[in-house]
Amino acid sequence: MPELPEVEIVRQSLTKNIKGKKINKILVRNRNLRFKLKPSFEEKLKNKIITNIDRFSKYLIIELENKSYCIVHLGMSGTIHIIKNKKKSLFTNTSFYNSPKLPKKHNHIEFIFDDMKLIYNDPRRFGFFQLMRNIDELNKKFDNFGPEPFSKKFNLEYLKSYFKKKKKDIKSFLLDQKFVSGIGNIYASEILFLSKIHPQSSAKNLNTTHCQKIIKNSKKILISAIKKGGSTIKDFKNILGDTGKFQKEFKVYGRDKKNCKRLSCSGIISKITQANRSTFYCKKCQK
DNA sequence: AAGAGGCCCTGATAGC
DNA sequence: TGCTATCAGGGCCTCT
């Protein structure tokens, strides 16, 4: 499900729902995620208060009261659901949400709180949870990651020096988390469309104007996706299972053989494969 | 060291 | 209806 904007939406929802709450119990039904959950996982989280929910790139960072951290990656198909405890809500006279459609299968992990539980669902199990003992371990985890597009470090000099002497095309670099963090396969295509750059362009040959467009449009695409509630992705739901307000607004992704959405362009969208991932672009206006 | 490719896994959809 | 093949938001690991 997730590129940076979708993870950010989840972070915001989690902040509203579980920040400041104590984890009463952890229930693990399947330990075999991308990385096998350690036997001590439950014990280390039990009875801890969640003091903050942060995010870096596509990772959620759950801070606990003892300044240890639980990082969560949703992989391709991970989703987080909140089930509010109906009884408790009625008792405290707060409104509760309509029972969200919790998937029947693949509910691997439950975080149980006083008035609700959080459920991690992940059919493909490419997602994972990892515990970091302290801030140093956490920082070390992200040591080799490139800056997020919003970072001041993601600037013209950085791009030029990073591309120098490298051979990959620009689409592959946008997906490379060592170069830039948080962009995934959908937004990579969208960023290049907005920038009118051909996805197979050799990155080191991009001129200053091209690089500046990539910097500007990476921010623009991600920010607008966050503002739209993480829209974009097929079946994307917020943690209450609500899909209604999300709309698909892709200009190129998934639009193979359809008309280019640029008003002045009569091109047709093409689908190609780069580094084993699909790329969508307009042959006519992306040069 | 950079880059290409395989692989982890289930489910939805297309084509026959 | 039911089979098989292909593809999907990601990233780690291995090999060259």
Structural contact between residues A242 and A235, judged by C-beta atoms closer than 8 angstroms: no
Q: Which of A5-9, A96-100, A234-238 has maximum average pLDDT?
A: A5-9
Query: What pLDDT is stored for residue A92 in this prediction?
Result: 46
The span from the CA of A283 to the CA of A234, in Å, is: 25
A100 part of the active site: no
CA of A149 to C1' of B10 (A): 32
Q: Output the distance from A226 CA to B15 C1' rounded to whole Å.
A: 37
Asked if the model's pLDDT at residue A273 lies above 90, the reply is yes
CA distance A218 to A223: 8
* Three state DSSP letters for A216-276: HHHHHHHHHHHHCCCCCCCCCCCCCCCCCCCCCCCCCCCCCCCECCCCCCCCEEEEEEECC
Per CATH, A4-141 and A156-282 having the same topology is answered no
Is residue A268 over pLDDT 60?
yes
Minimum-distance nucleotide, CA of A124 to C1': B9
Annotated catalytic residue A123 = no
The reported pLDDT for the residue numbered A98 is 38
pLDDT in tens, A232-254: 455 555 666 655 344 468 999 99
Count other C-beta atoms under 10 Å from residue A140's C-beta: 11
Q: What share of chain A has pLDDT > 90, as a percent?
A: 83
Q: Which CATH number does A156-282 carry?
A: 1.10.8.50
**pLDDT number for residue A227:** 86
Mean pLDDT within A141-160: 97
Tell the CATH topology of A4-141: N-terminal domain of MutM-like DNA repair proteins (3.20.190)
Residue A94 is predicted with a pLDDT of 39
Which residues in A54-93 are b (16+ Cβ under 10 Å) and which e? ebbbbbbbbbbeeebbbbbbbbebbbbbbbbbeeeeeeee
Q: What is the pLDDT of residues A30-70, one digit of tens each?
A: 999 999 999 999 999 999 999 999 999 999 999 999 999 99
At A177-232, the pLDDT tens digits run 999 999 999 999 999 999 999 999 999 999 999 999 999 999 999 999 898 876 54
Q: Report the C-alpha gap between A68 and A137 in whole angstroms.
A: 9
Q: How far is CA A151 from the centre of its chain?
A: 17
H helix count then E strand count, chain A: 8, 10
The residue among A106, A65, A55 whose CA lies nearest residue A230 is: A55
SS3 A142: coil
What is the spatial distance, in angstroms and rounded to an integer, between the CA atom of A137 and the C1' atom of C5? 43
Q: Is the distance from CB of A82 to CB of A110 less than 8 angstroms?
A: no
The mean pLDDT value for A92-98 works out to: 40
CA–CA distance, A60 with A219 (Å, rounded to integer): 19
What distance in Å separates the CA atoms of residue A221 and residue A126, rounded to the nearest whole number? 25
For residue A244, what pLDDT is reported?
Answer: 38
Task: Summarize the confidence of residues A117-140 as an average pLDDT.
Answer: 96
Please check whether residue A123 is in contact with residue A106, taking contact to mean a CB–CB distance below 8 angstroms. yes
Residue identified by tokens 């350690």 is A38
What residue spans define the domains of chain A?
Answer: 4-141, 156-282
Question: What 3-state class would DSSP assign to A108?
Answer: strand
pTM of the model: 0.92
| Cβ neighbours of residue A199 closer than 8 Å, sequence gap 6 or more | A169, A170, A171, A188, A189, A192, A272, A274, A279, A281, A286
Q: Find which nucleotide's C1' atom is closest to A175's CA.
A: C10
User: CB of residue A168 closer than 7 A to nucleic acid strand B?
Assistant: yes
